[in-house]
Amino acid sequence: MQPLSCLRCRREIEAGDKSVAVYMFAQTVGVKPRQKSTAQRICFCPQCAVSLAMGMPPEGALNMAAWQMIRDLVSAEPSLNQAAWESLRGVAALLTSGTETSANAGWRVTSRRAG
């Protein structure tokens, strides 16, 4: 079995990890004999799925159909949003480990004018 990765960010998705899978196949209609392609599995990590659902619709009919399905999943149940936040908390913990324990300690924003 080939390892899965998020289509958007390329992060590896291991068996048992939370993710969103979009299955796509093609099938003839009104043509005998009926033919059906193999199914393709397209995966998104929770962060990318939520980000896609909250963003603008993509161009193209197939992209729009997949985007609408992901939006329906994200808006139907809070568990996908929670999985995305859990993963982001883990990233934040890695970034602050060994330096600060507070969630927002030590963050400073500086700006510089161009010109």
Q: Distance (Å, rounded) from C-alpha 4 to C-alpha 44? A: 9
Total number of residues shown for the chain? 115
pLDDT digits (tens, 9 = 90+) for 38-50: 999 999 999 999 9
Mean local confidence (pLDDT), 2-18: 90
Say yes or no to pLDDT of 35 above 90. yes
Q: Residue 1: its pLDDT value, please?
A: 61
Q: Residue 5: its pLDDT value, please?
A: 94
Helices (H) and strands (E) in the chain, counts: 3, 4
pLDDT digits (tens, 9 = 90+) for 73-104: 888 888 888 888 887 776 656 566 655 444 44
Q: Residue 109: its pLDDT value, please?
A: 44
Mean local confidence (pLDDT), 24-29: 93
Q: Distance (Å, rounded) from C-alpha 72 to C-alpha 56? A: 14
Domain residue extents for the chain: 4-26+36-87
For the chain, give the mean pLDDT. 81
